[in-house]
Amino acid sequence: MTRTFNLSCLCLWHLFGVFGFQTDGVKTVSGTEGDSVTLHTDVTEVVGRDVILWTTLGYNIARFNRASQKISKSDGPNGIFRNRLHVTFRTGDLIINDVKTEHSGLYEVKIMQGNKVSYKRYKVEVHALLPIPVISRDSPLYDSSSKNSSKCVLVCSVVNVTQVTLSWYKGNSLFSSISVSDLNSSLSLHLECVNDSYSCVVNNSISNQTKHLDISTDLCQPCSDHCCSLTEAVIRLVISGLVGVACVAVLVYDIRSRRTEQKRYIRQHHQTRTDKHD
């Protein structure tokens, strides 16, 4: 009985790594579909009888036995890792090539170095490729007979995206933005007229896509000398009014000056004639 107990303790001793059991926190690694993602063991070099075991989704997907110099790999559930896995011979790092969103999840590596067993865990986040936003005019406000009949309302839209931000910019200045959690979303921009400095941007934590407004598409009336924003129009109107007042003032001053000069000339002429008679 005592012998059995001691044997059991010895087995547990090795199983749980009494000689060196270590567990690290979960590290997050992000990527975009089509990228290669590398998960590191942080081992300087795999030597001797070291064994590296990578697992995910309840499957052993890669095993490196240094003693036999053998690396074995699994295609995983439904073959999602087929022709995608690579294990580096020196450090046992796992490289997943051409990642897809289905490769997102929790990965664990068990590092067995003699009597020392350690673990590292990774949370892999694979984001879908962001689509280029689409800019269109809000159709309910559009009058085909006259594109100037109503205020221009531009709509920027994206589909099949989650956890992104959709924003309108004028140059480098942010106009408005929303956080998108569903698959289809749009953001409107109300304008009097447009120019080519406007753009719509969709972005997540690792990438972005930008669509610049092309004023040649005639979505809205372009800003020009004959069309301007409400603020600019008011400023121009005020300036025109001030210029008009100034012109009237100059004209009145000129007329008064001429009359005064004429009266002075008449008085001087009359005085000259009076002096001659005397």
Print pLDDT tens along the chain (278 aa): 444 434 343 343 333 333 344 556 899 999 999 999 999 999 999 999 999 999 998 899 999 999 999 999 999 999 999 999 999 999 999 999 999 999 999 999 999 998 999 999 999 999 889 999 999 887 654 444 444 445 788 999 998 888 899 999 999 999 899 998 777 888 988 887 788 789 999 998 888 999 998 887 777 877 765 444 455 556 767 777 787 777 777 777 777 777 777 767 666 666 666 655 55
Position 183 scores a pLDDT of 76
Q: Give residue 87's pLDDT.
A: 97
pLDDT at position 226 is 47
- Beta strands 116-127 and 70-73 are unpaired
Single out the residue of 51, 170, 154, 181 nearest to residue 109, CA to CA: 51
pLDDT at 260: 76
Task: Specify whether domain 134-217 bears CATH 1.10.1740.
Answer: no
Rounded to 5 degrees, φ, ψ at 161 are -130, 155
pLDDT of residue 252: 73
- Distance, CA of 181 to CA of 202 (rounded, Å): 12
Going across the sheet that includes 94-96, the strands are 37-39, 94-96, 85-87
pLDDT of 259: 75
The three-state (H, E, C) secondary structure of 181-231, written as one string: CCCEEEEEEEECCECCCEEEEEECCCCEEEEECCHHHCCCCECECCECCHH
Angle at 110 between CA 30 and CA 59, to 5 degrees: 70
155: tokens are 């709509």
pLDDT computed for residue 147 by the predictor: 45
- pLDDT at position 11, please? 40
In the sheet that holds 105-113, the strands lie side by side as: 21-32, 116-127, 105-113, 51-56, 59-65, 70-73
* CA-closest candidate to residue 44, choices 91, 92, 89, 109: 91
* pLDDT the model gives residue 14: 37
Q: What is the pLDDT of residues 222-248, one digit of tens each?
A: 776 544 445 555 676 777 778 777 777
pLDDT at residue 169 in the model: 94
CA distances from 255 to 232, 247, 265 (A): 35, 12, 15
| Confidence at residue 5, expressed as pLDDT on a 0 to 100 scale | 37
So what's the pLDDT on residue 160? 85
Work out the widest C-alpha separation in the chain, in whole angstroms: 161
In this prediction, residue 79 carries a pLDDT of: 94
Question: Amino acid identity, residue 66?
Answer: R
What is this structure's pTM? Answer: 0.61
Interval 184-229: pLDDT, tens: 888 988 887 788 789 999 998 888 999 998 887 777 877 765 444 4
- The per-residue pLDDT for 30 is 92
Taking the C-alpha atoms of residue 220 and residue 169, their distance in angstroms, rounded to an integer, is 17
Residue with tokens 């567990």: 23
The CATH architecture of the domain made up of 25-127 is: Sandwich (2.60)
CB 166 within 8 A of CB 181: no
Tokens coding 148: 């100037």
Residues contacting 274, CB < 8 A, separation 6+: none
DSSP letters along 19-75, please? T-EEEEEEEEEEEETT--EEE----S---TT-EEEEEETTEEEEEEETTTTEEEE--
Sign of CA dihedral 22, 26, 31, 33: positive
pLDDT number for residue 144: 45
110/61 Cα distance (integer angstroms): 12
